[in-house]
Amino acid sequence: MVFWGCNRRHILERLRLDGRVAYVTGGGQGIGRAFAHALGEAGAKVAVVDLVLAKAEAVACELSLKGKH
């Protein structure tokens, strides 16, 4: 079964974030890291912010390896 949203567009298509930028604070670990990956998968360009630079850089590297920026 397929659920349709507004204007006969698939609901997941309406959740796309292409062309948008997401700033994820606390993105170096845990829920923040998961959100960074989810937002990247949805098409957003993700800026990872964390108090520990090495953790933020590690997540940014993960996203880059997946082709997400």
> Over the stretch 14-31, which tens digit does the pLDDT of each residue have?
789 999 999 999 999 999
- pLDDT above 90 covers a percentage of the chain that reads 72
38: enclosing H helix or E strand: helix 30-41
pLDDT at 5 over 90: no
Range 35-46 average pLDDT = 96
- Report residue 44 as tokens: 């957003």
Phi-psi region of 24 (alpha: psi -120 to 50; beta: other; left: phi over 0): beta
- For residue 28, the one-letter residue type is G
Residue 68: pLDDT band (50, 70, 90) is confident
- Report residue 65 as tokens: 């390896």
Could you tell me the residue ranges of all domains in the chain? 18-65
**Rounded Cα–Cα distance for residues 63 and 53 (Å):** 15
Closest by alpha carbon to 22, among 4, 5, 38? 38
Its pTM stands at 0.81
